[in-house]
Amino acid sequence: MPELPEVETTVRGLARYLDGQRIARLILNRPDLRRPFPAGLVQHMTGARVTGLGRRAKYGLIHTDRDQTMIFHLGMSGRWRIEPDAIEKHDHLVIETGAGHILALNDARRFGSVDLVETKELDVWPRFAAMGPEPLGEDFNPRHLRAAFAKRTAPVKQLLLDQRIVAGLGNIYVCEALHRAGVSPAKQAGRVSRRALEMLVPVIKAVLGESIAAGGSTIRDYAQPSGELGYFGAAWQVYGREGEPCACGGTVERFTQGGRGTFWCRQCQK
């Protein structure tokens, strides 16, 4: 599933073609993705001007001058294609701008979604209302984690993946950040030291920033809107590297937490 860096990269790629543009046509080539497209989506978006693009957690936001925001989630296999040579079978939503740009939301597995929400209601939209702070924002800091982790016996990795504590962190980047910070993913969150938290927060921000700069991570289906792959996978230190040597001299191991594979090195992560 595309994680925060992949969604941020997607939003930045779309902004070059959509920001400030009038939507001349919005075409739906099927009635649904994971769930039905919003009623009236075509009517509300056709003729609207895009006033900005953004991201909340792993959702992309397309704001319009009609005080409504189209929200998209890429699911497992979703991606946007810019200026495609032809519309393909899995291009389920197509936007044509007044300047003649064509952007197609392609989703072969159809686990993605599209919603239409009043812009002023975004913070209370059910899927956003309970989310924690953005990991790249100022509200995500060691003080916030200390409060969220206090007296918690759950593993630190599981709490970092809890969207109520921090919005948008996914498995790849939590594994990488915990490794860089030298924190065991199995450590009880309430036992993580103040010093470790002081290190963990900037490390999380750095890992996400580096991945965004590299266009994200491509595992299977993800590609940037330009068609390029994401290259951060070349920088993974533990994720997907079970049995390989760690930089510390140890060996990368894998175990399952909450149904997800966790990659770590027991020699340097305590």
Q: What are the residue numbers of the active site?
A: 2-3, 58, 260
- CA 127 remoteness from chain centre: 14
Tell me the C-alpha distance between 70 and 28, whole Å. 14
Tell me the C-alpha distance between 19 and 3, whole Å. 23
| Contacts with 229 (C-beta within 8 Å, 6 or more apart), sequence order | 215, 218, 222, 223
Q: Which residues pair with 91 in a beta bridge?
A: 106
**263 with 240: CB under 8 angstroms?**
yes
Tell me the C-alpha distance between 253 and 255, whole Å. 7
| Contacts with 151 (C-beta within 8 Å, 6 or more apart), sequence order | 190
Q: How far is CA 87 from CA 27, 74, 93, 191, 255, in A?
A: 11, 18, 10, 53, 42
Map residue 88 onto helix, strand or coil.
coil
**74 with 109: CB under 8 angstroms?**
no
